[in-house]
Structure 1
Amino acid sequence: MARVKIEHRLGIAAPAHEIWKLVGDLPGWKHWNPLYTSAEGTLGFGAPLTLTLALPGRKPQVIRPIVESWTPDELIHWRLSMLGGMVRSVRYIEIEKLTDTGCIFSNGEIFDGLLGPTVARSMRGTIRSGFAAMGEAVKARVEAAWQGREGQPT
């Protein structure tokens, strides 16, 4: 079956654990995340989440994905099924450590199911813009916090 992947990646000048402090705190997303304006639930295998998805130019929508995998300082993956399974996706947020103070932050989604690839292709620009906005928000917030701490006594 065909799949469509949409992704945004960017470098962040901060350690993986600093990025994780922000993205691993789901209730805190409402304070900084332009793509998910509210997030409820906990990170645990098979745990349900309730997220408000605010794609650019579209009405916010509540989605209820299930956590598939999570590893502190590295990743969060969840799956979502809509329209009776006709649209399925795996959403991922990943932190790839390059150095002690530099990472690649990736956030993307892989769509499958009977209608998933068609929906993804038709909304590719909007979805990618949402991922970019989230990535830029993570970068700005984490780098500002990390730069404020560098050189400070611990």
Structure 2
Amino acid sequence: MEEVHTSIGIGAPASGVWKLLTDFAGYPRWNPFITRMAGELRLGGRLDADIKFTERTVTINPTIVGLESERELCWRGVVGNGLFTSEHRLEIQPVTHNRVVLVQAERFTGPVVEIIAKKLDATLRRGFEEMNAAAKRIAEGAWKNSE
């Protein structure tokens, strides 16, 4: 098993960060990594998303496997009948009423993980960090404008 893990502190309440992360129609306006997201926000719901890697965009169709309002959104994708499985997690950890830590992680399992995951590590980490920074900027801006 391999995992890519990032986190960032955000000066905004969990409700504001959750609203941003679950407004799939808004992703093209702010998200440099997941440039398009559509689907039904429910446990077992299928998603349709475009992930921007360095030189290309990949479309994925994962299933939501974890969903807790204002806390966690998690989806899983399977490639090649289980040769490679990835589980992507967005977790909001409250620190105070108007400050959270956003954790973004992806866990890889399956027989070809060592071949694929190591090649993706740096690219995914950069994408996660770019997305985290954009989420921080947008959520903090929205929070400051609402005060």
Deviation at 1:10, TM superposition (A): 0.6
Match of 1:44 in 2: 42
Structure 2 Cα separation of the partners of residues 118 and 98 of structure 1: 37
Q: Secondary structure at the match of 1:84?
A: coil
2:4 is aligned to 6
Alignment correspondent of 1:81: 78
What is the number of residues matched between the two proteins? 147
- TM-score, normalising length: structure 1: 0.92
1:23 Cα offset (Å): 0.3
Equivalent of 2:28, from 20, 27, 30?
A: 30
Name stretches of at least 5 consecutive residues in structure 1 with no aligned partner.
none
Task: Among all aligned residue pairs of Structure 1 and Structure 2, give the percentage whose two residues are the same amino acid.
Answer: 29
2:137 equivalent in structure 1: 140
Deviation at residue 68 of structure 1 after TM alignment: 0.4
Aligned to 1:59: 56
Decide whether the 8 Å contact of 1:80 with 1:89 is kept in 2.
yes
State the 4+ residue runs in structure 1 displaced beyond 2 angstroms. none
CA shift, 1:122, in A, is 1.9
Paired residues of 1:5 and 1:111 also in contact (CA < 8 A): yes
5 Å-filtered alignment, 1:45-124, equals 45-55=43-53, 57-124=54-121
